[in-house]
Amino acid sequence: AHQQLSDIAKPRYIRVNTLKLDSESALHELGKQYMVHEDDMVPDLLVLPPGIDLHDHPLVINGSVFMQGKGSSMAALALQPEPGWQVMDACAAPGNKTVHLAGLMRGKGKIIACELNKERLRRLKDTIKLAGAANVEVLHEDFLNLNPKLTTYSKVRAILLDPSCSGSGTVAVRLDHLLPSHGVGNADATDVDRLRKLQAFQKKALAHALSFPTVERIVYSTCSIHQIENEDVIKSILPLASSFGFQLATPFPHWPRRGLPVVQGSEHLLRTDPVEDKEGFFIALFIRKLTNNHTEE
Ligand code: SAM
């Protein structure tokens, strides 16, 4: 009940799909019906009053805007992919972040969107079509099975890794479950087991992302509030990351909510709050400098 109350009190966020519409036109169009303004930090993110249902709005139906929250929209932005780059979206369906990447790259370059689950692959393809993202190549594969040494991936400069997670930052549960005070919050034994399995995959996937030889930027993101899926994953992977020359960098330096202080460099990590920001997201950004092994096409 608490969560529902907080839902009612929190604004609606929508992200403008810049492949189809610019923010000014979206503001103008939505402004005819609603009080709407741009988010003060995230570009092309619009804020509407609480409680508005936009599911059937023409701009949603034709893919000009996506109903995507603030935390979710921050992940692709944190990666800062440039137009013309090759980028991998490792766990892509249903594709909200894939098409956000495509928008940021202004449709130039290539996004390889990898997804293991067949049903979800269909949703990914629908999202890409709806968004009008022409530069996405969909791969029905296990990301862990992709061979980083293949020439197919030898131009990939950035990876967005948004792996399966508990979703504890977005589910409507009682607020006292949302306290990130210790590793697994108030989870019971079955939950703990599930979280450990998720963590095992998250660690493997992040280690795999780090092993792509030409990658300079990696975003690891979850919609979980649990330390075990967030700071603990980063902590365990830091030695490997540093052996590959990666360091933590600070996405959205002015954002006040950072990682829990349980890992060195937690100030680089970013959290959003499930209550204050409507959804609990976690973002870590790894970067490394590579010397001149890229040739632009
Ligand atoms: N990034 C997506 C978005 O913003 O719309 C959400 C991704 S969701 C959190 C994680 C996805 O990873 C699921 O669709 C799941 O099926 C997929 N997945 C899980 N294991 C995978 C694997 N080994 N390889 C590729 N995709 C995987």
Residue 296, pLDDT > 50, answer: no
Joined together, the tokens standing for residue 141 give 């594969």
Strand, coil or helix: 110: strand
Q: What average pLDDT does the structure give for the chain?
A: 91
Cβ of 95 below 6 Å from ligand 1: yes
Rounded CA-CA distance 284/221 in Å is 6
pLDDT of residue 291: 78
CA-closest candidate to residue 47, choices 224, 280, 278, 283 = 278
Ligand 1 center–CA 102 separation, angstroms: 17
Cβ of 162 below 6 Å from ligand 1: yes
Active site residues: 223
Ligand 1, residues 116, 119, 229, 233: which to mutate, most atoms within 8 A of Cβ?
Answer: 116
Interface predicted TM-score of the whole assembly (ipTM), two decimals: 0.99
pLDDT of residue 25: 98
120 Cα nearest atom in ligand 1? 14
Q: Which residues contact 228 (CB under 8 A, 6 or more apart)?
A: 183, 184, 195, 196, 199
By alpha-carbon position, which residue is closest to atom 9 of ligand 1?
164
